[in-house]
Amino acid sequence: RSGVLHRDVKPANIRLTAGGRVVLYDFGLARLTGEAALTNAGDLLGTPQYMAPERIRGQWPLAASDVYGVGACLHFMLTGEPPFGEA
């Protein structure tokens, strides 16, 4: 809804505030949806252990790619491991 692709959702970029709010940090790789790309198709930017399969295949990131990263973080919270192990 915000029109921002984070592109590096991972546990290290998620914090819990003193008030109990979950906050996503580190927007260094983020871009606006529809914004002209500054990287080439196929460039891997982000953390592979939490990256959506389409990103690993070199496709352009979508909002669903960030949702996959959230799911991968939830998996890490429950198991202590990234979904497919360390890179």
Catalytic residues: 8
Cα–Cα distance for residue pair 22/41, rounded to 1 Å = 31
Q: Which 3 state secondary structure label does DSSP give 46?
A: coil
Cα–Cα distance for residue pair 56/35, rounded to 1 Å = 21
Cα–Cα distance for residue pair 59/47, rounded to 1 Å = 15
Cα–Cα distance for residue pair 53/83, rounded to 1 Å = 12
